Amino acid sequence: MSGLRGLTPQRFTLVSTGELPEHLLPDIASTLTHLGWVRRTEERTQYADLNVLHYRGYTPTLIAPHGDSERLLTELRSGLTALSVACSYLSGKYTEFVPTRAVFDMDATVIAEESLDQLATHCGHGPACAAITERAMAGELDFAAALRERVALLAGTPVAACREIGRQLTVRRGAIEVMGALQAHGCDVVIASGGFHQIITPVVAKLPVDQVVANTFAVSGEHLTGAVD
């Protein structure tokens, strides 16, 4: 694909757990043509419950990008996101890139909640935990110091409370399907979380993942000590 002289390969991909927005597809194609795409093709595939549409094409390498390119692509992404359709844009050699490992954040990404905040609220320390977070956001604490202070609030919390919160965490719509599709194509799926194993283990059990990297609470008996192990 990249061997055509004078042409740069392009790819714009839509992914949806529901039906693709068929009424918008002609407008998307028209926009790509407006951006200078030539030899454009469309390829539909389905992975588990995911509907995928790849637009492929080329732009002349020696012609400067259309002045509205970034604005038009941003508007496309925004409109599709509002319809719960994920999209990606790749250019040049990256159009044929096949990842071997995909790394996902956990809190407020794969799951809807911030797991440590949920545990702090459950234990009656929600406002104090939020105040520490605000200090960190204001630059008064670095990440490690803020984490230690928040964990210290939880000294004496039963480990069972961590598991209880973990069972209540909400997996975002589409996360399981995306991870499963990646695995089906030979890609290792990794969770890299600033959260804690004792909280997220119950929800991780629902996910098709190959590895989980997270913090661990220090424990004495069946209670948290208030330190990071």
The SS3 of residue 78 is: helix
Is 107 assigned a catalytic role? yes
Predicted local confidence at residue 178, as pLDDT = 87
Amino acid 19 reads: E
Specify the 3-state DSSP secondary structure of 57.
strand
Distances (CA, A) of 57 to 85, 86, 88, 162: 21, 19, 14, 50
One-letter amino acid of 28 = I
For the whole model, what pTM was predicted? Answer: 0.71
pLDDT at 65: 57
User: Which of 107, 142, 188, 210 is flagged as catalytic?
Assistant: 107
Set 49, 68, 105, 229: catalytic member: 105
Residue 217 CB neighbour total at 10 angstroms: 22
| Distance (Å, whole) CA 20 – CA 52 | 8
For 104, the 3-state DSSP assignment is strand
Indicate the pLDDT class of residue 18, thresholds 50, 70 and 90.
confident
Between strands 50-60 and 38-47, the pairing is: antiparallel
**Distance between CA atoms of 144 and 154, rounded to whole angstroms?**
16
Q: How sure is the predictor about 63, in pLDDT bands with cuts at 50, 70 and 90?
A: low
- Angle between helix axes 159-168 and 197-204 (nearest 10 degrees) is 40
Per DSSP bridges, beta strands 211-215 and 86-91 are: unpaired
The pLDDT confidence band at residue 66, using thresholds 50, 70 and 90, is low
Q: Please, what is the average pLDDT of the chain? A: 89
Query: Mind listing the pLDDT tens digit for each residue in 162-217?
Result: 999 999 999 998 889 889 888 988 899 999 999 999 999 999 999 999 999 999 99
The average pLDDT across 59-85 equals 77
At 19 the pLDDT is 87
